[in-house]
């Protein structure tokens, strides 16, 4: 359980970092890099989701998982990463629109 939780933390953190870097790239007008980083973020988030899905499938199959602080922490990381990714998409779009109208 702890190993899975740490994998979720790792990949969610990678997603969040890529999304934040993508915002900075867009801020600097490098939209190709911003798009590349958002694709990388999507890949990392997919990996985190795969580990979370394994936990959900195990639970659905009757295999009870011990809930611990590390698992709760991993879910917090995942939800934060999802939020940052969604906001990054919107912020990058704003920078693109600003760049076009300038």
Active-site positions read 73
* Residue whose C-alpha is closest to residue 34's, from 42, 45, 23: 23
CB of 59 closer than 8 Å to CB of 65: yes
The sign one gets for the Cα dihedral 62, 67, 70, 75 is positive
């Amino acid at each position: 359980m702890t190993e899975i939780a740490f994998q979720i933390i790792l990949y969610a953190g990678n997603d969040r970092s890529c999304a934040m870097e993508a915002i900075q790239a867009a801020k600097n007008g490098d939209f190709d890099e911003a798009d590349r980083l958002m694709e990388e973020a999507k890949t990392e988030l997919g990996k985190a989701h795969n580990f979370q899905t394994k936990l959900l499938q195990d639970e659905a199959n009757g295999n009870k998982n011990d809930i611990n602080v590390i698992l709760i922490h991993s879910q917090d990381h995942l939800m934060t990463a999802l939020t940052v990714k969604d906001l990054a998409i919107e912020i990058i779009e704003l920078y693109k629109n600003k760049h076009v109208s300038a």
